[in-house]
Chain A
């Protein structure tokens, strides 16, 4: 009876350990790629954290620690906190050649930048639909509000965010 109890407990502990180990493995020590055009790196895991620098599409970073949806990263000459929505576990290859396409085709760990729906496809679409105008889309994309201006906007409007901002 006691023996069975011990075996059950041991199996349970092992199961929990395996589950936890796999969670930790993806959380830290992993290499991730920046999957957006550019993303800020902050001093603290928070939207109000001071911006230390920015990383670009395809830059690779090492994950040192995670806290909620924030990851402490180091790479490409910067270290600090990034929001996880800017990162992908896939390695992003910017200039894809035939050989890389072959490697990418064999697994889920590689993503090729500029593949599929891209500027070539957009150009094809534009030539078939000359009435659709992208002028204002390009103009919209240029409007980028700096983080410092956002903070001032909140403060001036007497808007008090909850601790930490984005989760």
Chain B
């Protein structure tokens, strides 16, 4: 009898949950605030509407950034990366990287972004790779030299695609910056932004770019974000038909390279500084795909990899 009652109560709870509107508290709060502002003559009814919208947008944090806005953030993040690292002007190598990278992106959970995925080689011996929000991905010559086959290179690109897919860049924007940016963003349409609002918005934009680039290039993402990107990479590799051991192969090679570095070369240890140790990453990957096995690349695949990336 009591069990049956419990069933009935549980069922009612399911019903109640199904009709519960999400994030209502924030909406209600801003409604009250906007109402007061309008009633006291502080805001016009139209501005009142905007304040309401601003409140609910702030409640959603980085998710309120539209793909179009993410695209503009990504373009500037990319330009800042290239202000520090010179692009490698090698059309054939960059084209190969884009064929491989854009193909892999099709197998991610987010194959479509506002401006699409695009890849570029940075002319530096530093072992590094960066992804700007929206899908602009940069990989150093030093990093490509750590890859012994196409599967390993695919793994590096898939890891960066993972950061894009999971919007890790946007999540590096500080909470207070996001709040002030979203408040301005939600206030009015772009067309009605006055000079001062545009200046404020640009300030929030600049701050967001700094938050993202300093996290990416100096501090690194959290261990959790790196693990998520590795997990996404394994998924992309498995779906596309590449060997997920490409990732462990690359990490093993990187470990060797890093231990042989003299440590005094400027920026020589950037990747080590911004990423968890290769060993701890391999440990996780083994849990997902089983024991580390060497990649056996078909002859045709190895030949084209050597031709495109072997001499850069």
* Chain A residues engaging chain B, CB cutoff 8 angstroms: 1, 4-5, 7-8, 11-12, 14-16, 18-19, 22, 35-37, 39, 47, 57, 69, 83, 85-86, 88, 96-98, 100-102, 104-108, 111-122, 124-125, 128, 131-134, 136-137, 140-141, 143-145, 149-150, 153-154, 156-162, 165-167
Contact = CB atoms under 8 A, between A and B. Distances in A.
Contacts of A154: 103, 240-241
Interface stretch (B114-122, B222-230, B281-289): B114-122
Given A35-B68, A85-B109, A101-B189, 15 more contacts: A12-B7, A18-B15, A88-B67, A96-B190, A100-B189, A101-B50, A107-B53, A115-B189, A125-B209, A141-B118, A145-B103, A157-B298, A158-B298, A159-B240, A167-B109
16 contacts: A8-B11, A18-B18, A97-B191, A102-B46, A105-B46, A116-B184, A117-B69, A117-B72, A122-B75, A136-B120, A137-B79, A144-B116, A157-B301, A161-B107, A165-B106, A166-B108
A116 B69 CA distance: 7
Nearest to B6: A8
A132 B76 CA distance: 9
B83 interface: yes
Interface in B155-213: 181, 184-186, 188-193, 198-199, 201-202, 205-206, 208-209
B82 interface: yes
Contacts of A133: 79, 82-83
Interface stretch (B92-100, B252-260, B264-272): B92-100
A37 to B, nearest CB: 6
B150 A157 contact: yes
Contacts of A22: 18
Contacts of B56: 108
Contacts of B198: 120-121, 124
A85 B116 CA distance: 11
A52 to B, nearest CB: 16
Ranked nearest first, the 3 interchain pairs of A and B with the lowest CB-CB distance are A101-B189, A86-B112, A116-B185
A135 to B, nearest CB: 9
B25 to A, nearest CB: 15
A39 to B, nearest CB: 5
A163 B199 CA distance: 50
Contact of B15 (A15, A96, A121, A125): A15
Contact of B192 (A39, A98, A157, A161): A98
A5 B111 CA distance: 48
Contact of A153 (B67, B100, B191): B100
B262 to A, nearest CB: 31
A143 B118 contact: yes
Given A153-B100, A165-B106, A167-B239, A36 B114 contact: yes
A156 B300 contact: yes
Contact of A141 (B8, B111, B115): B115
B235 to A, nearest CB: 9
